[in-house]
Copies of this chain bind each other. A is one copy, B any other.
Amino acid sequence: MILNLHGEVPSTPAHAHASATKDASAITILNAEPAFLPTLKTLHSKFPKLRIILEHCSTAAALAMVRSCGPTVAGTITAHHLSLIIDDWAGDPFCFCKPVAKTPEDRDALLKAVVNSEGKFFLGTDSAPHDRGKKRGEDKVAAGVFTQPYAIGYVLDALEKGIERGVIDEKDVTQDRLEGFVGAWGRRFYGVKENGTEKIKLKKKGEVVVDILAKEGLGVQVVPFRRGEETWSVTWH
Residues on A facing B (Cβ under 8 Å) = 11-12, 14-19, 21, 25-26, 28-30, 85-87, 89-94, 96, 100, 103-105, 108, 136-143, 161, 164-167
What's the Cα separation between A40 and B32 when bound, in Å? 32
Q: Is the CB of A94 within 8 A of B19?
A: no
Chosen A-B contacts, 6 in total, with CB atoms closer than 8 Å, are A12-B104, A17-B165, A18-B166, A30-B30, A91-B141, A91-B143
Question: A28-B86, A91-B141 are known contacts; what are 14 more A-B pairs with Cβ within 8 Å?
Answer: A11-B87, A12-B104, A16-B165, A18-B108, A18-B166, A18-B167, A19-B166, A26-B104, A30-B86, A30-B103, A89-B90, A91-B143, A92-B140, A136-B137
Residue in contact with A26 in the complex, picked from B30, B92, B105, CB distance below 8 Å: B105
State the Cβ distance, A171 to closest chain B Cβ, in Å. Answer: 16
What's the Cα separation between A19 and B93 when bound, in Å? 31
User: Which of A16, A30, A96, A108 gathers most chain B CB within 10 Å?
Assistant: A30
